[in-house]
Amino acid sequence: MWSWRHETRAAYAFVERNVHLVKRYWGWEVVWLIYSIANALSVTFIGAGMERISGQRVDTQHLILYLLTGTLVWGYLSVVFTLVSETIQWERWEGTIEYTLMAPISRFTHLVGTTLFSLLYGFLQTAVILAAVAACFHLDLSGANLLGAAGVLLAASLSFSALGMVGAVLPLLYPEKGVQVVQVIQSLLLVISGVYYPVDVLPRALCWLSQFSPATYVLQGMRAALLDGAPLRQLWPCILALLLLGMLLMPLGVWLFGKAERYARRTGRLKRDG
């Protein structure tokens, strides 16, 4: 009898397979981690240099932590979003897409498996970057609510994964250019979510749009937890907003993916190209 146990096993298959792939590509993983740390450092050094840039006194530690939070959240979002949304492109490149899509599992299970791995990977990478940058700048995180920050990031995972599923639709529909469009979506999120600045400095239209981006709430929550050490009860509004967005986006992502897969099967676009 086919059961939830089979589906769980199948979801775990994607986690296990991707862990094996990470082990095989370990050299590239190290390169990617160095790039991510360098990227985070280059942004946070803006905070370190702000007094010299502006000629004014600023709270450098606060600014560094503000920018670091942005770069951590952006890094996490990028990893989750990219891993989920590029799962189709990756499998198409490897030539395994048809094998995976004809497996006797629900598409929800497939996407959940891919998402679970991306969350684990994203969390691990974010923790390593935080540790590296904190060590570099001798940041004092004793007053930060690290557990609360992790909780906010966890709550955001649902909606980030759902956004990834929406993004995964594009390479399915447009094998050649779909991934580039995903990057465009990612950059739009970067602009409207206040990754490196408060959203109220944005023009009114963009500021209005920012309320629909899960990244806006995760940044608010993370900054409150890391910069002000806000306790959990103060973080709840952000966590609730993130969970609500996640609950709306997740069914939408799965539904859209199902529709796109059907279109791809009707038009013969699953076939490997290149």
Partner 1 sequence: MSEPTTWALRVAAVSKTFRPFRWPWQANAPVQDGVRHDTAEGRSGPVCALDKVSLQVRRGEIFGVLGPNGSGKSTLIRVIATLVLPDSGSVEVLGLDLARHELEIRRLINRVSVEASFFKKLSPLENLLFGARLYGLPANRARQEALGILRRLGLREASLWQPMEQMSRGMQQKVAIARALLTAPVLLLLDEPTTGLDPRSKREVQGLVEALRRDHHATVILTTHDMLEADALCDRVAIIDAGRIVAEGTPAELKQRVASTTGGSPPTLEDVFLALTGHSLQSADEAASEDAVESSDVVLAP
List residues binding partner 1 (CB under 8 A): 2, 6, 9-10, 12-13, 16-17, 20-21, 24-25, 94-96, 98-106, 262, 265-268, 270-272
Min CB(260)–partner 1 separation in Å? 13
Min CB(80)–partner 1 separation in Å? 21
- 98 vs 140 by CB, closer to partner 1: 98
Radius of gyration of the chain (CA): 20
175 near 269, Cβ under 8 Å? Answer: yes
Instruction: In whole angstroms, give the CA distance from residue 47 to residue 45.
Output: 5
Both structure tokens of 128 = 């390593």
139 near 65, Cβ under 8 Å? Answer: yes
Min CB(120)–partner 1 separation in Å? 17
- 42 vs 106 by CB, closer to partner 1: 106
- 176 vs 200 by CB, closer to partner 1: 176
- 187 vs 267 by CB, closer to partner 1: 267
Min CB(107)–partner 1 separation in Å? 10
The conformational region for residue 76 under phi > 0 = left, psi -120 to 50 = alpha, else beta, is alpha
Instruction: In whole angstroms, give the CA distance from residue 133 to residue 110.
Output: 35
Enumerate residues 6+ apart whose C-beta is below 8 A from 51.
57, 58, 60
137 near 44, Cβ under 8 Å? Answer: yes
- 62 vs 265 by CB, closer to partner 1: 265
Min CB(261)–partner 1 separation in Å? 10
